[in-house]
Amino acid sequence: MALQPLQRPYDRCGGHARPRGYRNGLVVKARSSMETSRWPCCRCKGFASVAVEASRWPHDRSPRRPPDGWVAHQVTDIWAKSSPDRGDPVWAFWPMGGAWICTHLWEHYRFSMDKVFLQQTAFPLMKECASFLLDWLIKGRGRYLETNPSTSPEHSFIAPDGKTASVSYSSTMDIAIIKEVFLAVVSSAEILGNSDSEFIQQIVKSLSQLPPTRIARDGTIMEWASGCLVKLLSSGFSNSIISSTMVFLILQAQDFEDPDVHHRHVSHLFGLFPGHTITIEQTPELCKAASNSLYKRGSHKLNTDRITNNLILNLHMAKPDRTDLWGVNWARSDRQDWASHMPIDQNFASPITVSRDSFAVSGDAGPGWSTTWKMALQARLRNSEHAYKLMKQLIVLVDPDHEADYEGGFYSNLFTAHPPFQIDANFGLPAAIAEMLVQSTDQDLYLLPALPQNKWPTGYVRGLKARGGMIVNICWKEGELHETWFWIKNQNSIRQLHYEGRVMTVTLYRGKIYRLNKHLKCLKTYPLGEETIM
């Protein structure tokens, strides 16, 4: 996807970012909204303005010694605003917006393998962002580098004195994003042949000094950790008499109380998705804790089987010989003209019915962007049924003429309701569905990792991109992989294919299409370009 240097990013309502003061000071949210909108599309077109605007971002400096590099907080605009927004720091202060954006630049390279883009665009921006992060980190009272001040976006905690607070040390999201950026910079330097530089060595050293992701007493991922230690030390503990073991125990034993366990944000799970530092293969304990965190957020209260009298959605999976993957048919009992504009196909399987009232009372009820994020998280955890339930919870009809307090759902034109319209979930949903069908690393390809077998027993998908420059087509029948086709355009590589516990190592040559069966046995190869794919 070619970059367009003069293109402005889109705001969360679907329009271009405008100057502050126009349309009530509309800006781009660089915390979740901007990034979620780029999850499904190789990520970079909306960030073309970053290269132009990053040169302005350094002019806004923190109150302490001006750091190197550039920073963006939770909102920005066409003037590259990078200072904290006005208001409560629980939502206004968050200097990780630019860092999150940089993870998308790295992901674009991983999917496209465009080395020119990496060298000329991505690496310079990521390097300058990492420079800011290095200066932003401070030496903590233990052996770790910390961020301070730090927030977990829009979420508060109960401090040891019983008061509600939001600012502490090293929120889990801060550290997770910094790890992703540092790892991306180190990997990019290795690819570009300058990993021996002093700057890269400093990044490597700092990586080893970042706090680990911690598990709380209730088995969930800690959202705030180091702030507890600060409070304890400031309450009379002497750092010199506390061993590293005792510090660890104190952090484990003193979780901040969460006043809103069903909060819409899942920031502390960034390392699972969209990040990659929490994986089933490498960190199963943290994955279990992440699952517990989602349960605590309200996933156990899901109830999408009740039927209302006035709002019904029918979702159907297409048969594999059709040209489309799936179709949607809306129906409303007291206003059938809504449905008259939507195609009804009798060749679809039995309908799946969901209701608005069950969505409104569910613990997972909330904005569409939150639902799609949780959906992707459940897919990464291989929780196919729960990911599917979340999708059902999102795809419900919202009557624009009816005042309501709930958030999320679709209008009849398939725009996502917030209310009003908010684009995040429209783009986040296909990304979450893609995670259910294909997941990848630079060396591994996971086929149908979170397929809801009973709900989508038969179907196919074409043209999904995987990391390492792969393109994948998949066909499944009766809930199982039937055949898969994939190819690579950039360079020969060795990959591990994963399906239902089976692992196959294959050598891929550019310019060839590989057709495999459900046992991951190669049936045939074709020259790339032949019209022989599905």
Which tens digits make up the pLDDT trace of 292-331?
999 998 754 443 333 222 233 333 333 333 333 333 332 3
Q: Are 457 and 478 in contact (CB under 8 A)?
A: yes
> Strands (DSSP E) along 229-348, which ranges?
312-317, 326-331
Cα separation values, 288 from 221, 387, 500, Å: 9, 16, 20
pLDDT in tens, 208-238: 999 999 999 899 999 986 544 333 333 333 3
User: Is the link from the previous residue into 19 a cis peptide, with omega within 30 of 0?
Assistant: no
Per-residue tokens: 153: 């976006």
Instruction: DSSP for 166-227, please give it.
Output: --BS-BHHHHHHHHHHHHHHHHHHHHHT-TTSHHHHHHHHHHTTSPPP-B-TTSSBPSB-HH
The Cα 125–Cα 223 span in angstroms is 28
347 — pLDDT class (breaks 50, 70, 90)? very low
Higher pLDDT, 155 or 247: 155
Our measurement of the distance from residue 133's CA atom to the centroid of its chain's CA atoms, rounded to an integer in Å, reads 21
The Cα 47–Cα 103 span in angstroms is 11
Backbone angles phi, psi at 248, to 5 degrees: -60, -45
Percent of the chain with pLDDT over 70: 67
The Cα 31–Cα 91 span in angstroms is 10
Higher pLDDT, 42 or 481: 481
- Nearest CA to 185 out of 202, 164, 163, 170 is that of 202
The Cα 219–Cα 331 span in angstroms is 43
Across the chain, mean pLDDT equals: 75
The Cα 442–Cα 470 span in angstroms is 10
The yes-or-no verdict on residue 72 having pLDDT over 90 is: no
DSSP for residue 142: S
The Cα 364–Cα 377 span in angstroms is 13
Domains in the chain with CATH codes: 1-136 (no CATH), 137-171+214-296 (no CATH), 301-435 (no CATH), 441-527 (2.60.40.1180)
Give the model's pLDDT for residue 71. 85
The yes-or-no verdict on residue 190 having pLDDT over 60 is: yes
Choice among 46-50, 220-224, 501-505 with the minimum mean pLDDT:
46-50
Residues with Cβ within 8 Å of 237's Cβ and at least 6 positions away in sequence, in order, are none
Q: Are 221 and 268 in contact (CB under 8 A)?
A: yes
